[in-house]
Amino acid sequence: MSEQSIIFFDIDGTLLDHNKEIPASTKKAIFDLRERGHEVAIATGRAPFMFEDIRKELEIDTYVSYNGQYVVLRGEVIYTNPLNPDALKTLTERAIEKENPIVYMDADDMHSNVPEEHEYITTSIKTLQVGKFPSFDPAYYQNREIYQCLLFCLEGAEQQYEADFKDFDFIRWHPMSVDVLPAGGSKANGISKITDKLGFPKERQYAFGDGLNDVEMLKQIYNSVAMGNGEEEAKAAARHVTKNVDEDGILHGLQMVGLLD
């Protein structure tokens, strides 16, 4: 394995361009990496059912989903980290008081605690272009493992939740929504479950990302690359910064770090 590396790619704004499409240069680069013997993986905040089509298109069966809470290595689940159920119940009660909808997400599906289409939910989830919206089931979080929630509130409103719910981390991914994760859970932690199992030294670990939920990953991974279209915090955390995703940013970044010619 001395020359083999593992490369983790975020999805939105990294593998997918602003039209939610995989640039041709990116797809070719992924297959070129694999032909050279490298391990290619995904590290995303999305649920597994939200990027099955991407995995099939790119022939990837190793991934970190839910920002590190559900980890799959070559088709096998090797790590899960669900939300604390008691704390989630209390969070739900608080969110109802504040009229902030919640979407509960497990490995297979997602359901909201509001019966009608809510502006915040429809507006934010539409940006993912996954062709799926949560149905109504306010009790979905009960008696099952929930790996991530979407809490719908405007920017700044999450600060009180952060102060009151130490079991959770709140990471904004949209002006109308934040991810709710187990405290300390991150893509970086999920990635370590894979790299430790496969035995990759840090010098042979690479990661590409663009968002706030990529910051820990970009700090931890030795060869980290932020997209040119990324958040400033992501760029500051990364060792390298490549071009924008729609300017062949993945290919350029892989050439920059010497994985492709």
The 3-state DSSP class for residue 19 equals coil
Query: What does DSSP say about strands 223-226 and 240-241: parallel, antiparallel, or unpaired?
Result: parallel
DSSP for 102-119, written as a single string: EEEE-SS-EEES-SS--H
Element (H, E) at 7: strand 6-9
CA distance 100 to 228: 33
Q: Which domains does the chain have, with CATH numbers?
A: 6-80+185-256 (3.40.50.1000), 85-182 (3.30.1240.10)
pLDDT of residue 3: 85
pLDDT of residue 2: 46
Residues noted as catalytic: 10
Instruction: Please list, in sequence order, all residues whose beta carbon lies within 8 angstroms of the beta carbon of residue 98, skipping any fewer than 6 positions away.
Output: 153, 157
End-to-end CA gap in the chain: 20
CA distance 75 to 61: 5
pLDDT of residue 112: 97
Q: What φ, ψ does residue 128 adopt, rounded to 5°? A: -80, -20
Q: Is this prediction's pTM over 0.85?
A: yes
DSSP assignment letter at 202: G
The 3-state DSSP class for residue 225 equals strand
Query: What does DSSP say about strands 63-65 and 135-136: parallel, antiparallel, or unpaired?
Result: unpaired
SS3 content of the chain, % helix, strand, coil (to 5): 35, 25, 40
CA distance 7 to 18: 22
pLDDT of residue 101: 97
How do the pLDDT tens digits run along the chain, 261 residues long?
A: 348 999 999 999 999 999 999 999 999 999 999 999 999 999 999 999 999 999 999 999 999 999 999 999 999 999 999 999 999 999 999 999 999 999 999 999 999 999 888 999 999 999 988 888 999 999 999 999 999 999 999 999 999 999 999 999 998 999 999 999 999 999 999 999 999 999 999 999 999 999 999 999 999 999 999 999 999 999 999 999 999 999 999 999 999 999 999
pLDDT of residue 1: 37
pLDDT of residue 169: 95
